[in-house]
Amino acid sequence: MKEILKVENLCKKFNKEIILKDISFSLNEGETLCIIGPSGSGKSTLLRCINNLESIDNGKVIIDNNYLISYVKKLNKKLAQNINTTMVFQDFNLFPNMSVKENIMFAQQKALRRGKKEAEEIAIKMLKKIGLEEKQDFYPCNLSGGQKQRVAIARCLAINSKILCMDEPTSALDPELVGEVLKVIKELSKENKTMIIVTHEIAFAKEIADKIIFMDNGKIIESGKDVIDNPKNERTKAFLERFNYNKEAKK
């Protein structure tokens, strides 16, 4: 299998506080990677570094063997415009002044220079995929949270980047709407889309992930396929136990 992402010794500081310490991992094409861990463990920052939304203080990010982000003092905005990776955000970040269809067409037309007709066809195809074809002329303010997040996913899919990153895609949704978003992500995982998902949905992570990383305090504590079923590290066990406890308490 082809290696699509390699992160080597990535370090990140905010002022003097160290957020990410020496993170290294790799990801193969077509795999789904889930990153779990407590709040403040640096999961989102890691994702933002891979997407070039944060500068890094040390280390390398190599995508598809040829693209490289290395230490830069200042964030180079041009780097963020590469479309090797796209990102789905916790708070959707749809463009409120554009309709659903325009949201999906916009980057295709302006960044990929696709013609209007082609962009529109792809947008409709993606809307069918997420089951929101009938909402194409709605504005984001008239959609529910779950629908907004599905549109955000479709917007990234239309760009067809090498890696699709999702930063807690269901955290801002009410419990009833989480299901519809997870269903879409599950389908993508089945289609072998390369994805990195930061999530608090442990059961969901277990179901779809080809690889799981558990992070705490800016470090990778444990990684592998059966981190959730068979944790080895005490910290991982403690984190997952609390989760299980919550689950039982809900019942």
Partner 1 sequence: MEILNLCKILFSGLGTTLIIFCITLFISVPLGVVVAILRNSKNKIISRIIALYILIIRGTPMILQIIFVYFAPYYIFRIYIDRFLAIIVAFVINYTAYFSEIFRSGINSIPKGQSEAACTLGLNMFQIYIYIILPQVIKKVLPASSNEVISLVKTTSLAQTIGIVEMFSLAQKQANYLFSIIPLILAGGYYLILVGIISIAFNKAEKRLRYYN
* 184 forms part of the interface with partner 1 (CB under 8 A): no
| Residue among 153 and 182 whose Cβ is closer to partner 1 | 153
Q: Does 169 bind partner 1 (CB under 8 A)?
A: no
Q: Does 91 bind partner 1 (CB under 8 A)?
A: yes
Cross-strand pairs, 88 = 166
Tokens linked to 19: 């957020």
Number of C-beta neighbours around residue 251 at 10 A: 4
* 195 sits near partner 1 (criterion: CB under 8 A): no
Q: Which range touches partner 1 (CB under 8 A), out of 60-68, 106-114, 185-193, 239-247?
A: 106-114
Map residues 31-70 to x or -, x wherever contact with partner 1 holds by CB under 8 A: --------------------xxx-----------------
CB of 195 to partner 1, least distance (A): 14
Q: How far is the CA of 52 from the CAs of 19, 37, 110, 238, in angstroms?
A: 16, 22, 20, 32
- Interface region with partner 1, contact rule CB under 8 A, candidates 87-95, 118-126, 183-191, 202-210: 87-95
Number of C-beta neighbours around residue 29 at 10 A: 15
Q: Does 95 bind partner 1 (CB under 8 A)?
A: yes
**Is 236 an interacting residue with respect to partner 1 (CB under 8 A)?**
no
User: Would you count residue 15 as binding partner 1 (CB under 8 A)?
Assistant: no
Q: Tell me the angle at which helices 116-130 and 145-159 cross, rounded to the nearest 10 degrees.
A: 130
DSSP state of 39: T
Residue 242: CB minimum distance to partner 1, A: 29
Question: Would you count residue 170 as binding partner 1 (CB under 8 A)?
Answer: no
Q: What is residue 112's DSSP assignment?
A: S
Is the separation of the CB atoms in 33 and 195 below 8 Å? yes
Which ranges of the chain would DSSP assign to H, the alpha helix?
43-50, 77-80, 100-110, 116-130, 145-159, 175-190, 202-208, 234-250
| Contact characters 128-157, partner 1, x per CB under 8 A | -----------xxx----------x--xx-
DSSP state, 65? Answer: T
Binding site for partner 1 (CB under 8 A): 51-53, 77-78, 80-83, 85-87, 89, 91, 93-97, 106-107, 110-112, 139-141, 152, 155-156, 159
